[in-house]
Amino acid sequence: MKYHGLLVVRDEADIITQSVRYALTWADWIYAFDTGSTDGTWDILQEIASKDKRLVLYGRESIRIRNDLRAMLFERYRDQAASGNWFAIVDADEFYHIPPPVFVREWLRPEETAVCYQLYDFKLTKQECRRLRSLTAIEIERREPIEQRRRHYIPIVFAEPRLFQYRPTMRWVPSKTPYNLGLIARERIPIRHYPNRDPLQMEARYRLRSQMRPYVGLSASPHWITNWRDMLVNETDTGSGLEYWKPKTPLPVYSRMNHIASPPKRMAQRVVHSMLLPVLDRIRPIYPAVFQPERMPDVRR
């Protein structure tokens, strides 16, 4: 059984080496598209790919970041997969706490073919920020793995699919998630998420997003907050749901069921998914041959 990673990235030079090398400990291939990095991310990817052919570079172009790009990668490289293989969403600032092959082998029921995440959203605290006031302090800290640097997190209730089993008839078109993923697993795969790593990275991240915001058209999402300091948390604020994790120890397991259907509907899904998915695939739209991702002006950090 093989595992294929879909990586869409932009300006993650401070973490991309660690995250890609970790993903390559469990993935058989990673297909990567850079949406216009200006901080050296693309150079790092090229260097890794030159030494490990499992990292396949689709290219680099200034593109609006959307799920369209994952569908594009999937369509481009789907012929590399055999029926029963697995595809995983790989983000530069996320780490599968349990490697997908281990999770599939030890946590899934035979009939389950899609997995949602349990996200552990790691934060930069105000106290940590005060300790990282100088560029020298940040550079010294960056020599350590990210899991040693950021220890406080908030568990996210919301879940979305991140891992799914491939079949040759399945379809995935722009602006959608893959059609007919199959039966969603009861268990969620834990992912450690590090969007806010240090003051230097956060300042650049939110400045870039502030510049991109007029072209993206989003407003309310925390992804598009323009002042990075608004994302800092206080270590003593227990009311925010903030928790502490010691590296190399298990993360707490949250038995949430909001990602799966009610029992009667789930029973019907089991029947449909076990027999009718190839039939349903035939009535879904095919990937448009004329699709072109939406270009953006060159925006620098």
Positions in the chain whose pLDDT score sits under 50: 219-220
In the chain, the number of structural domains is: 1
CATH of the domain at 244: 3.90.550
Evaluate whether residue 103 is within a structural domain: yes
Range of the domain at 85: 3-122+152-196+239-282
Which residue in the block uniquely carries the two structure tokens 């530069």? 92
Evaluate whether residue 174 is within a structural domain: yes
Residues 146/197, Cβ–Cβ less than 8 Å: yes
Evaluate whether residue 10 is within a structural domain: yes
> What is the structure's pLDDT at 225?
63
C-alpha–C-alpha distance, residues 19 and 26, integer Å: 12
> What is the structure's pLDDT at 220?
45
Residues in CB range of 179: below 8 A, 6 or more apart: 170, 171, 172, 173, 280, 281, 284
Evaluate whether residue 186 is within a structural domain: yes
Residues 212/226, Cβ–Cβ less than 8 Å: no
Q: Which helix (H) or strand (E) holds 107?
A: helix 100-107
> What is the structure's pLDDT at 254?
87
Q: Note if the pTM is more than 0.85.
A: yes
Evaluate whether residue 205 is within a structural domain: no
> What is the structure's pLDDT at 301?
56
Evaluate whether residue 213 is within a structural domain: no
> What is the structure's pLDDT at 270?
87
Evaluate whether residue 258 is within a structural domain: yes
Closest CA to 112 of 280, 284, 278, 260: 260
> What is the structure's pLDDT at 256?
85
Evaluate whether residue 249 is within a structural domain: yes
Residues 17/43, Cβ–Cβ less than 8 Å: no
59: three-class secondary structure by DSSP? strand
